[in-house]
Amino acid sequence: MTHQFYHVRRWRLFTFLLACILLLTLASPFQTAPVRSQDDNPPYLNPDLPVEERVEDLLARMTLEEKVGQMTQVEKNSINPDDIGPLGIGSLLSGGGGYPTPNDPENWYQMVYEFQNEALNSRLGIPLIYGVDAVHGHNNVVGATIFPHQIGLGATHNPALLEQIGQVVGQEMLATGIPWNFAPVLAVVQDLRWGRTYESYGQDTALVSELAAAYIRGQQSVGVYVSAKHFVGDGGTVWGTSTTGNYMLDQGVTEADEETLRAIHLAPYQAALDAGARIVMISFSSWGGMKMHAQSYLINDVLKGEMGFTGFTVSDWAGMDQISSNYYDAMVTGINAGVDMNMVPYDYHRFINTVLDAVDQGDITEARIDEAVRRILRVKFEMGLFENPFGDDTLLADVGSEAHRELARQAVRESLVLLQNENTALPISEDATHIFVSGMQADNIGLQCGGWTIEWQGRAGAITEGTTILEGIEAVAGENTTVTYSPAGNFDDMTDASGNPVKAEYGIVVVGEAPYAEGLGDVENPTIARNHVTLIEKMRERADKVIVVLVSGRPLLITDVLDQADAWVAAWLPGTEGQGVADVLFGDYPFTGRLSFAWPRNLDQIPYDALLADAEGPLFPMGFGLEQ
């Protein structure tokens, strides 16, 4: 009996203790449920109120620490998730290659979802805004649809297509929970030796403005916000003026006078703002004797004043640090110059503490902090981030879908520019018996995608899903056509019954550039590689009609070898849908692409103003493109 009684008494004690623990937990000041404010329905959480009312209500509730937290953007591998809530971190990013492991859309969604939950559990529950460089598709994500880089889209001259691409890329981003794109680049490139030439729509301000506006309209129509970048004059730097590593052009000095800067480089920003851009990324480059990140006149007076920009500016990757070797001075100067959010991206504690110290010292006023945070909150409210902080995982099924890839294939077709077509080389007949193909770029997804693909610098190989140019040729060629591929152009074993070398009706040589990004792609002599010329010479011996397809991030100097092939096609960096190239080579679709850059004859015609001054004119003028 005693035994049984003992059990009953112990059970009562256990129940009593459990009740005490529960009571203590509920009353505990360390509860984890999001406690956004004392009243359950504060005005800032009411989506029916005007944005400005929500901004002012929320700003009034924030501590100085929480305000500076909103101005802080941290790279996702550098953040301690436990800091997001307490510090009120406003933004995270994935830099080029900043993917989760495994790298697939579902895992991306999960990663961003977990970070966002930390932010929603902050005292005021302000959602963070997650940003990526989706510069030619959601290009860090394996399986995403990768479109031609902007230089190819520039050759399409098709704003309606750009608007569709903006929508599709935005949908694939939202599928992974990401509402902020560090794109499009608005650079109007003056020197194609720049490693970011391919990130630009071209060399003509009006074309850049028109295509950027279309892309922005498309992307923001699905709820993803763009960043017009890099403000301002990034495409106008002068060779040898960069002080970053061994860069020569990237992050250099834009030596244009103000009138030229406004006419060539600033105009696209007005088009971008008119199209709805609410975020502007500041350029690493310099103008007027100072780093753009310190350029108060252009950021505060021109962008925010004269142009009436009411969104927010974000620095480039540690861009403010370049202002001065004294970190305190650099942060003070950059923030007072008008940089609202700092892409730190690593040591966020140092940034936050430095700014708090500067406010304490009076070097940054709290009014300036309030102005920056007002702008950030305004955009977050406009985006609906408080109502939907998680994107839309129902779109996951559409990432890399057939429909999206078909749009990318269309973009590839329309990006191709026919530079020369002699000996009726093109279109290729489907009745051909033999087609020989050579060149590494023919059968390599990584090479045809270029930089900013899965990895920051991109890389060769089967880095993601897609169709190579060769696979496209094999799929479109006639059923009686034998397609033979030799990367090195060796077709010695192709002989007839008598052992004589077979000569193909068509020889396609696919060559160009290896992947690169930013200043690592700055090149002194952008000429076609000697070993690629050798491939053309070898093909000349083995095919009746020789076609060169250039897979490159810029026009290459080909003047001296032009006559060694019958046809030349600029394919730029087509992305994952390589079969778009074959669609046009075989005549299933016409060539419609037209150059968005003038094609120089020689080095003396680089940069652009040297070409304009040369009476001989370019090898191919801007707007050039044969139809057949």
Binding site for ligand GLC (CB under 6 A): 95-96, 133, 182, 229, 316-317
3-state helix, strand, coil in the chain (%, to 5): 45, 15, 45
- Cβ density class 477-501: b for 16+ within 10 Å, e for less: beeebebbbbbebebeebeeeeeee
Angle at 458 between CA 74 and CA 112, to 5 degrees: 35
**Closest distance between ligand GLC and the C-beta of residue 230, in Å?**
6
- Strand 543-551 relative to strand 504-512: parallel, antiparallel, unpaired? parallel
**Closest distance between ligand GLC and the C-beta of residue 98, in Å?**
8
Angle, nearest 10°, between helix axes 348-361 and 366-383?
130
Structural tokens at position 152: 């190819």
For ligand GLC, the closer of residues 68 and 282 by Cβ is 282
For ligand GLC, the closer of residues 282 and 428 by Cβ is 282
**Closest distance between ligand GLC and the C-beta of residue 584, in Å?**
31
Alpha-carbon span 561 to 362, nearest angstrom: 64
Cβ atoms of 412 and 148 closer than 8 Å: yes
**Residue of closest CB approach to ligand GLC:** 182
For ligand GLC, the closer of residues 376 and 508 by Cβ is 376
Alpha-carbon span 485 to 505, nearest angstrom: 14
Per the DSSP assignment, residues forming a β-bridge with 434 are 482
For ligand GLC, the closer of residues 210 and 316 by Cβ is 316
Structural tokens at position 30: 């360390």
Q: How far are the Cα atoms of 79, 204, 605, 622 from residue 600, in angstroms, in the given order?
A: 46, 15, 6, 10
Residue 253 region by backbone torsions, left for phi larger than 0, else alpha for psi between -120 and 50, else beta:
beta
**Closest distance between ligand GLC and the C-beta of residue 241, in Å?**
17
Q: How far are the Cα atoms of 494, 564, 618, 624, 626 from residue 621, in angstroms, in the given order?
A: 40, 21, 6, 5, 12
Cβ atoms of 249 and 195 closer than 8 Å: yes
For ligand GLC, the closer of residues 280 and 337 by Cβ is 280
**Closest distance between ligand GLC and the C-beta of residue 343, in Å?**
6
For ligand GLC, the closer of residues 182 and 624 by Cβ is 182
For ligand GLC, the closer of residues 96 and 526 by Cβ is 96
Residues in contact with 117: Cβ distance below 8 Å, sequence separation at least 6, in sequence order: none
For ligand GLC, the closer of residues 175 and 517 by Cβ is 517
Cβ atoms of 75 and 92 closer than 8 Å: yes
For ligand GLC, the closer of residues 227 and 468 by Cβ is 227
**Closest distance between ligand GLC and the C-beta of residue 417, in Å?**
26
Angle at 428 between CA 425 and CA 433, to 5 degrees: 110
Nearest to 84 by CA among 35, 133, 40, 125: 125
In terms of Cβ atoms closer than 10 Å to its own Cβ (0-12, 13-18, 19+), residue 123 is: middle
For ligand GLC, the closer of residues 133 and 398 by Cβ is 133
User: How many Cβ atoms are within 10 Å of 2's Cβ, its own excluded?
Assistant: 6
**Closest distance between ligand GLC and the C-beta of residue 85, in Å?**
24
Query: What sign does the dihedral 337-343-349-350 (CA atoms) show?
Result: negative
Alpha-carbon span 603 to 578, nearest angstrom: 30
The DSSP element (H or E) to which 367 belongs, if any, is helix 366-383
**Closest distance between ligand GLC and the C-beta of residue 316, in Å?**
5
Active-site residues: which are they?
Answer: 316, 518
- Strand 482-485 relative to strand 434-438: parallel, antiparallel, unpaired? parallel
Cβ atoms of 469 and 549 closer than 8 Å: yes
3-state secondary structure (DSSP) of residue 482: strand
Alpha-carbon span 147 to 563, nearest angstrom: 31
**Closest distance between ligand GLC and the C-beta of residue 244, in Å?**
10
**Closest distance between ligand GLC and the C-beta of residue 445, in Å?**
22
Q: What's the distance, Cα to Cα, between the start and end of the chain in Å?
A: 102
Cβ atoms of 547 and 438 closer than 8 Å: no
Q: How far are the Cα atoms of 5, 370, 545, 566, 594 from residue 423, in angstroms, in the given order?
A: 105, 68, 7, 6, 22
**Closest distance between ligand GLC and the C-beta of residue 225, in Å?**
14
**Closest distance between ligand GLC and the C-beta of residue 489, in Å?**
37
